[in-house]
Amino acid sequence: MHFIRILLPVLLAALLGLSVANAHDALSPHQRGILESKSSAPVDATFSFDAPAGPQFTDEEKEAQRERGKGVMPMVKNAFDTGAAQVRIPPGDYRFGQEHYKGAKVIYPLGFENMQRDAEHPFIIDATGATFWFDLDDKQMPPGHRCVGFQNCRNIVLRGAIIDRGTRGCIEGRITCIDRAANRFEIQLSPGIVVPATYKGGEEQRLFPFKSDGRFCVPLYDLQAGIRKLRYKDITPSAEGRYWINMQDPDLMERIHDENWERAYGELGVVRVGDGLSCLYTTAGAIALEDSANITLHGVSVYVAKGGPSESGGDGAHLWKDCYFGPRPGTNQWKGADGYLCRSTRYGSTLDNVTIRHTGDDLQNFHGIWGKVKAVSGYQVTLETNPSLRPTLNNARPGDGLRFIHRKTGVLLGEAKLIALKDFQLTLDQDATPFSEAQAEWLDHECAGWVVQNCHWEDNFQRLLIMSGPGIVRGCTFTRMGSNISLNTGMGLVGGIPSDITIADNTFTDVNPRPHGATIDARAHNAQGQDGVPPIERLIITGNTFTRSGGPAMNLIGIKDSRIEGNRIDSPIRATAIARSSDQTERHAIMLRHSTGVELKANMLSDPERHARPDTVSKSELLGLEAAESITLDGKRLQDAPAKILKTK
């Protein structure tokens, strides 16, 4: 019964082929108009080591830019306060410093605060042709820096702005020597790079290997996922303009000399002299939308290295249209902006014709924050103190729905509505006694109703993480992506149950090509690691094309009442079979575990090298089953598949 006014349009749009714009009725009229406008062409971002470093300015020019930067907010505020419909920021370069703090409150270098208009009369900030530069220090993360912020704003449009940082914020260059014995790479630095004098040695101190034409060596993400073998110890001088990247572990060096690995992946799976390395050590929040509603980013470009957008709290329903997040086109910059963090908004965002390239973390997150129950008394629930819950609690309203799940077993204990709230103490509309061992899912504060359409994701490091629904990913292209689209119930800090998700008409090429990697994975599990509880329900995967996943195109655990139809799967399993030839685990194009009530229809498998193997239950190379019930394949009801019995010595 939750989110009926969002859920029904979303499902109807998915099933009937209607415009996704109609699925998101939380958008303002102005946002709908922008959404229906013709999209601009994707940005040409051809990479070359020999390209210039980007715009260079003298000290005098930078000082003049700082003076112009001081005038931006007074200009905007004056137009807003006088009731103007829009303000035009003249083309040119504007420069800002770093964020600072007033207590726990962040003060953004370019911050828009308490600016609210009604949906019929939005306020437009037209910054077409303007570049906002942020002079951020090059200290290693943490902490992370901030650039542009919208706090407690409503119905505001930022159009055409370019956001960049005055310092590069990462170390990049062409490989000039590979010293296997010493476990180090020598690189010729790209212009404009500052090399830190000391190193913290943390997990964020890692590198991205890429080919000389700019393609991410995506199979090598295998060394990062879960095992963290892409870390460097430090960077030390070599010859003039050259530095040694001294690796912490030998795994990368051994992997690029592994003959089976090279046979499986070819040149995309290794780095040679002449290829590149990008070494990460800073982070920034390029655009932050906090406790806001109906903010529109139209034609905005972000070139800040590992500088991503984020949404947190408020009504949400933000629109990102014709935006670009990545390296600055036409330069020798390889590391680009970062992916989206969307959490704890009342309505999910819409992304239309957005390009994201070269992220250093997750491509996108959609989730809420679990509330762990500390105590119950009568109709009252006291939650454990958790600062991450603040955006939810600050925007909670009487009538909001909560779902209570046993914090260990994942079993549903019941649902309730919020009557009143004081700090971390909730008053419900019913007796709270059954919820004493629970964690609470805030159904109205986990970005439900999000839409991702017509987007272009290329050479990205990690995953698109979905932990809330309903939502749609449709008509997008995913190319060379280290991880995958991942649906997960999560039972720790971040979470939600990602039911009512549609993934339709997308193209996936070299997405999670590492051994056993699945292009789409779903895992419903409880805090004890038991699969299938609570289940992920009503997952629809239809009309997609999958090319060269490392393992199955889909590895789905704990889904229920779902449909997989009309997908084309080309050359799955091949990488696992060649790179790990001794590994004879399941080899199927689609794998279902701990799932029930799933219909599969008209899915096509192209496996020219015959690496897939038939399943004992389905009798098909297409579908592998384990602990699965009520499965239908092309109209035929299959027998139930038992769970595997683990052998013990």
Mean pLDDT along residues 78-88: 98
Cα 206 to chain centroid, rounded:
19
Query: Which CATH fold topology does 369-442 show?
Result: Elongation Factor Tu (Ef-tu); domain 3 (2.40.30)
Whether 1 shows a pLDDT value over 80: the answer reads: no
For residue range 507-535, list pLDDT tens digits in order. 999 999 999 999 999 999 999 999 999 99
For residue range 408-434, list pLDDT tens digits in order. 999 999 999 999 999 999 999 999 999
Whether 223 shows a pLDDT value over 60: the answer reads: yes
Helix (H, G, I), strand (E, B) or coil at 79: helix
Residue 504 burial (C-beta neighbours within 10 Å; 0-12, 13-18, 19+): buried
Average pLDDT, the chain: 92
For residue range 594-635, list pLDDT tens digits in order. 999 999 999 999 999 999 999 999 999 999 999 999 999 999
Distance CA 298, CA 191 (A): 31
The percent of residues in the chain predicted with pLDDT above 90, rounded, is 84
Q: Which is nearest to 357 in space by CA: 290, 307, 291?
A: 307
Helix (H, G, I), strand (E, B) or coil at 558: coil
- Please answer whether residues 490 and 250 qualify as being in contact, where contact means their C-beta atoms are separated by less than 8 angstroms: no
Strand partners, 86: 124
For residue range 349-380, list pLDDT tens digits in order. 999 999 999 999 899 999 999 999 999 999 99
- Please answer whether residues 342 and 348 qualify as being in contact, where contact means their C-beta atoms are separated by less than 8 angstroms: yes
Whether 3 shows a pLDDT value over 50: the answer reads: no
* Tokens (6 digits) for 270: 């290794």
Distance CA 273, CA 256 (A): 12
Spans of all domains in the chain: 59-167+283-338, 170-280, 369-442, 450-637
* Tokens (6 digits) for 198: 């000391």
Q: How big is the CA angle at 557 (ends 555 and 558), to the nearest 5 degrees?
A: 150
* Tokens (6 digits) for 176: 């000039």
Matching residue, tokens 């701990």: 594
Whether 443 shows a pLDDT value over 70: the answer reads: yes
Residue 145 burial (C-beta neighbours within 10 Å; 0-12, 13-18, 19+): buried
For residue range 24-41, list pLDDT tens digits in order. 578 999 999 999 887 776
Residue 615 burial (C-beta neighbours within 10 Å; 0-12, 13-18, 19+): buried
From residue 41, alpha-carbon distances to 158, 297, 321 in Å are 19, 17, 12
> At residue 590, what is the residue type?
I
> At residue 91, what is the residue type?
P
pLDDT in the model for residue 229: 94
